[in-house]
Amino acid sequence: AELSSRLANDVPLLCMAVPYSVNVALRSLVTVLGLGGFMVGLSPRLALLALLEVPLTITARKVYDARYQVLQQAVLDATANTATVVQEAVSSIETVRIFAGEEEEERRHSQALAKMLRLKDQMDVERALFTLVQRALQLAVQVLVLCHGHRQLREGTITTSSLVTFLLYQAKVGRHVQALVFGHGNLLSKAAAGRKILEYLDREPTGNTGGTWAPATLRGHVAFQHVSFAYPTHPKHLVLQDVSFELCPGKVTALAGLNGSGKSTCAGLLERFYEPGAGKVLLDGVPLRDYEHRYLHRQVALVGQEPVLFSGTIRDNIIFGLEGCGEEDVRAAAAAAGALGFISALDRGFDTDVGEKGGQLSAGEKQRIAIARALVRRPTVLILDEATSALDGEGEAALQQWVQNRWARTVLLITHCPRMLKAAD
């Protein structure tokens, strides 16, 4: 939700600020230089006095911009936090209702919204004060020029028409000086938005994504060699410590253990979501980091316990990321996942829209489609991480039958289900 808010709010701010500010700055600079030359020609002394507006305006703007950037960043952060609160409440609405947390979520949202509005009000107040100060400085310089112009009239060093012309030029130059300073300040004020965006763009992936190894065939032999791993958020807590095991081609290997013992972490390492802190993960004797990215994820498929579907049709979700996938392959994968029955019963079959995040389907139906999405790839290595958690007996039996048929050459089965454990070699 925070990233979505940055994309929806910060990026447009930066995109609008740059071309607008540059355009205004160029036009104003040309106007100031041109009219400034005419003013010097009319009266060098008055022109020098009129130039006092430039340093005064710049100084006031610098003080204002320093404060405004801090407030702008705070507003953007508060907006992102408000979006996060809303996204969490909406995406977890069932949990909120189960625990009667509607009032608590409403309170959280009200607090986040109030903070954002308070900061915006503060920005508006400071903008109004700056405008007042800027206008006061402009009037002060104009009065000073007018007084000296009146003196020159009495001395006879300037004519009435020249003084009127000078004052008209000064008013126009003053507006363009303010526009010039505004353009520069506007860029600086939007730097808060740009800073966060550039932080995201400058991030470098921790793992190597430049592998090129993509052999024509794979046996599917997986080896964990003395692997240790800790999550970046808890670097001192080793989830895996000196772990070694093998997944043999043509075999179903079950991985069981207590919650938090690192089973899903092994699956994540095999999918290269993370890099081992120590040791190696090999596929057919080659480190995973050396494989071409798309090739590796075509050969290694994962079905997790919390299936993720995208807006679109059932077919779109099954063939997600694949090109040239035929109808027969889609139907065969759906049948192997035990999903063909309920899909065929739908009015539009495979063309049924699943809704946002698969919201139009039950948990078991989403799980079966996720399994079909993995099977249609005919992966060399298949990881089933508690993939039967949302399946009924029929779906579990279909998956067990598929595991025994071994479409994939290597299967890693992470489960606590006794019936599924029986399918392991």
Read off the CATH number of the domain in which 328 is found: 3.40.50.300
Same domain, 186 and 235: no
Same domain, 377 and 306: yes
User: Does residue 209 sit within a domain?
Assistant: no
Same domain, 196 and 281: no
User: Does residue 212 sit within a domain?
Assistant: no
User: Does residue 110 sit within a domain?
Assistant: yes
Residue 11 above 80 pLDDT? no
Could you please report the per-residue DSSP string of 32-44?
A: HHHHHHHHHHH-H
Q: Residue 131: which pLDDT band, with cuts at 50, 70 and 90?
A: confident
Same domain, 164 and 311: no
Read off the CATH number of the domain in which 71 is found: 1.20.1560.10
Residue 25 above 80 pLDDT? no
Residue 294 above 60 pLDDT? yes
Same domain, 279 and 355: yes
User: Does residue 216 sit within a domain?
Assistant: no
Tell me what the pLDDT averaged over the chain comes to. 81
Q: Which of 167, 201, 235 is the last residue of a domain?
A: 201
- The tokens 């969490």 sit on which residue? 88
Q: Which of 149, 170, 201 is the last residue of a domain?
A: 201
Strand runs labelled E in 262-375: 278-283, 286-287, 300-303
What is the domain count for the chain? 2
Same domain, 140 and 248: no
User: Does residue 215 sit within a domain?
Assistant: no
Same domain, 109 and 242: no
Question: Lowest mean pLDDT: which of 12-16, 111-115, 295-299, 410-414?
Answer: 12-16
Q: What angle do CA 417, 92, 197 make, to 5 degrees?
A: 110
Beta bridge partners of 302: 383
Over residues 2-19, the mean pLDDT reads 65
Specify the pTM: 0.62
Same domain, 71 and 107: yes
Same domain, 310 and 399: yes
Dihedral over Cα of 384, 390, 392, 394: its sign: negative
User: Does residue 213 sit within a domain?
Assistant: no
Print the domain residue range for 45.
2-201
Same domain, 238 and 151: no
Which tokens in the block code for residue 331?
A: 């139907």
Q: Residue 333: which pLDDT band, with cuts at 50, 70 and 90?
A: confident
User: Does residue 181 sit within a domain?
Assistant: yes
Beta bridge partners of 229: 240
Q: Which of 144, 167, 201 is the last residue of a domain?
A: 201
Same domain, 153 and 19: yes
User: Does residue 325 sit within a domain?
Assistant: yes
Same domain, 258 and 167: no
